Amino acid sequence: MAGASDLGEKMDLLLKTFANMGQQLKEMQTAIAEVTTGVKELKDQFKSQDGRIINLEKDINRQEFRINNLEDRQRRANIRFRGFKQDFAESKRLIHPVYQWLQENKINVELNEFERAHWTFGPQNSGNQRDIIVRLCSERRAAEIYRELKQITNLNQKGTPIRVLKDLSAQTLQARNQMKPIVDILFQNGIRFSWKYPAMILIFKGTKVFRAKSLEEGKAMLQQLGIESDFELCAKPATEATGAEGGIFTKPPHTEDQQETAGKIMALQKELAALQEKEETGKMETRATRQKKK
């Protein structure tokens, strides 16, 4: 009888243990279900935030393009000269020397058509020549004088070669600088081209028009033109405001419209940073929950 009693007690204990294990299993299943639901909610939240981040990035890109476009529009009445030595003229008396130099090169321009002229920012030693920027009274006159100067071969000042360039924003120059391998090959093969804003190469050949706005498209364009090329398709990081028509640049003061747009971009960037921080926090919480589960 004693043996049967001991066996019964052991069976009762075993049943109670199974009952406890069953209860614990149910609790674990409930906890797992809650964690799974939480993870799903976090994933849905992250998905929603990812979409918002993408939209914010698109908005920032659009606003940056708009600011860059406004800056380039402000510069359309400017002409940039590269090659003048530092002793060409004093910083505050540039208009008259530039005017006389243009007259010497048979450029029909009146003194009262100049609005201002200045050296670009940079060191004043002979090893670092600075560009001269001249602003005309109108975009039309600047474009006309630019075209006339481009027709002159061996443009120089006392034997020093002078380059005439369009005055473009740093961002536009950086974009065009990425296309430098294509530009170099076109120059080597004597192929004339033009730029479409901000950084697309256009070539007109007969009735055909060839376009390229990236190195990949540029290489394909060269193949269509029957030009062999072996350069690497890797865009070099743009240096500070340098490019095919580059130099060292400083931006003019923003207009009220530009300042307003810049403020909007700063607000968008702050919101984007906050969303990214929130997303990282959520990921950390998820990892912590998984660690507790283990």
Q: Determine the pLDDT at residue 280.
A: 65
**Is-above-0.85 flag for pTM?**
no
Q: Determine the pLDDT at residue 291.
A: 59
Distance (Å, whole) CA 166 – CA 80: 6
Q: What's the CATH fold of domain 76-166?
A: Alpha-Beta Plaits (3.30.70)
Q: Determine the pLDDT at residue 30.
A: 80
Distance (Å, whole) CA 191 – CA 203: 8
Written as one string, the DSSP assignment of 26-83 is HHHHHHHHHHHHHHHHHHHHHHHHHHHHHHHHHHHHHHHHHHHHHHHHHTTTEEEEE-
Ranges under pLDDT 50 in the chain: 125-126, 234-258, 293
Q: Determine the pLDDT at residue 79.
A: 96
128's tokens: 């670092």
Q: Determine the pLDDT at residue 292.
A: 55
Averaged pLDDT of the chain? 78
Q: Determine the pLDDT at residue 201.
A: 94
Task: Give 5's DSSP letter.
Answer: H
Pick the CATH number of 170-225 from 2.30.110.10, 3.40.190.80, 3.30.250.20, 3.40.50.10140: 3.30.250.20
Domain borders along the chain are 16-74, 76-166, 170-225
Q: Determine the pLDDT at residue 246.
A: 38
Backbone angles phi, psi at 215, to 5 degrees: -65, -40
